[in-house]
């Protein structure tokens, strides 16, 4: 059985997220998703939704077999627990694949890192970014 790990914030799940998780699931037999803890998100705005709510929404998606909230201090701890064959990165995630492989190798986890492809817009005006969705909500409702 090939275990795949995908990870992210997944605030306000949108078609880009579904595309990423569908591609990640297609890389193996079992998809585990690790959601970044709100308090650990530093590379962008903190999620609007709670850790648990985001996890519950992601767990309900068809491609996902298991969803969990990330570790409080060590982002690699859940990956060590899962012991995946593949880590699937989103096409635009900021992570350095080589640095991930090096750290996991140092910890005795042998897996490869693959990057999902982008999802092309299906129609004019389709929103594929949580930030863009929030901006549109503010423009139209605030």
**Model pLDDT for residues 58-77, shown as the tens digit of each residue:** 999 999 999 999 999 999 99
Counting the structural domains of the chain, the total is: 1
DSSP strand E in the chain: where?
3-8, 30-35, 66-69, 86-89, 112-115
Residues spanned by the domain of 111: 3-141
Q: What is the mean pLDDT of the chain?
A: 94
Judge whether residue 120 has pLDDT over 90.
no
**Binding-site annotation, residues:** 9-10, 14-17, 92
Residue 94: the pLDDT is: 83
Residues annotated in a binding site for ATP: 9-10, 14-17, 92
Please give the Cα distance from 48 to 42 (Å, whole number): 14
86 contacts 27 by C-beta, under 8 angstroms: yes
- Say yes or no to pLDDT of 93 above 90: no
- Other CB atoms within 10 Å distance of the CB of residue 66: 14
CATH number at residue 18: 3.40.50.620
Does residue 35 contact residue 64 with C-beta atoms inside 8 Å? no
pLDDT tens for each residue of 7-39: 999 999 999 999 999 999 999 999 999 999 999
Q: For residue 32, give both structure tokens.
A: 């585990």
pTM of the complete model: 0.92
Of residues 12, 65, 9, 82, the one with CA closest to residue 41:
9
Q: Is the pLDDT of residue 79 over 90?
A: yes
């Amino acid at each position: 059985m090939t275990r795949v790990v995908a990870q992210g914030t997944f605030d306000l799940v949108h078609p880009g997220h579904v595309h990423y998780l569908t591609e990640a699931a297609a890389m193996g037999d079992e998809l585990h998703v690790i959601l970044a803890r709100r308090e650990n998100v530093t590379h962008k705005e903190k999620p609007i939704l709670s850790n648990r709510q985001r996890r519950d929404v992601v767990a309900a998606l068809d491609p996902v077999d298991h969803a969990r909230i990330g570790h409080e201090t060590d982002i690699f701890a859940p990956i060590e627990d899962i012991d995946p064959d593949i880590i699937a990165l989103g096409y635009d995630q900021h992570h350095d694949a080589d640095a991930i492989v090096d750290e996991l190798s140092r910890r005795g986890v042998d897996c490869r890192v693959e990057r999902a492809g982008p999802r092309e817009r299906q129609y004019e005006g389709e929103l594929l970014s949580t930030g863009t969705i929030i901006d549109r909500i503010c423009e139209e409702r605030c």
